[in-house]
């Protein structure tokens, strides 16, 4: 701040106030920093803790930077996928027309519902086979009760 005092006479009158405020703040900050540094020199434990806190702060800033970078790319990927899907949907409607899209969707729904029914039936067969084998399933289909001449084989 000493070198600024030589330029203080060159500064316009309205800037003398901010210069004086800046000089006062500089003096106060210098006295606070010098007392802090002398206290740190007297007890090195505080210096090591301060260094540890500074390193922790810097490492957290680096982790935050990496997190924001990754989130930028993830966000970019989802935006590209969303707008690409909208463009593909628009192209599909434009090339097939609304009636063609409706026909395609009804065929798709029919195919998936048939697949769902097929696998639902397979699941029922698997559960019945797991809890009694083929005989239990045959007896429930035919109406047989359990043994004593009931069912196809009479067992």
| CA 40 – CA 47 distance, rounded (Å) | 6
- pLDDT, tens digit, for every residue of 108-144? 999 999 999 999 998 888 777 766 555 544 555 555 5
| CA 144 – CA 76 distance, rounded (Å) | 63
Ordered by start, the domain boundaries in the chain are 1-42, 44-98, 107-155
Report the candidate in 126, 128, 148 with the shortest Cα–Cα distance to residue 136. Answer: 128
Largest CA distance in the chain: 122
Structure pTM?
A: 0.46
Report the candidate in 34, 32, 6 with the shortest Cα–Cα distance to residue 19. Answer: 6
Q: Going by C-beta distance under 8 Å and a sequence separation of 6 or more, which residues neighbour residue 123?
A: none
CA distances from 98 to 82, 92, 101, 105, 122 (A): 21, 9, 5, 11, 36
- pLDDT, tens digit, for every residue of 55-88? 999 999 999 999 999 999 999 999 999 999 999 9
């Amino acid at each position: 701040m000493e070198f600024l005092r030589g330029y203080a006479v060159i500064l316009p009158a309205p800037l003398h106030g901010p210069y004086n405020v800046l000089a006062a703040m500089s003096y106060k900050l210098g006295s606070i920093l010098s007392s802090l540094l002398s206290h740190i020199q007297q007890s090195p434990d505080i210096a090591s803790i301060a260094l540890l806190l500074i390193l922790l702060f810097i490492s957290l800033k680096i982790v935050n930077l990496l997190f924001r970078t990754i989130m930028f790319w993830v966000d970019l990927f989802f935006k590209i996928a969303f707008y690409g899907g909208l463009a593909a949907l628009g192209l599909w409607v434009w090339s097939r027309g609304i009636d063609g899209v409706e026909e395609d969707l009804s065929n798709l729904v029919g195919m998936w519902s048939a697949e769902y029914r097929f696998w639902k039936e397979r699941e029922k067969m698997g559960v019945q086979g797991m809890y009694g084998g083929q005989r239990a399933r045959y007896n429930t289909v035919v109406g047989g009760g359990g043994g004593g001449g009931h069912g196809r084989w009479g067992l």
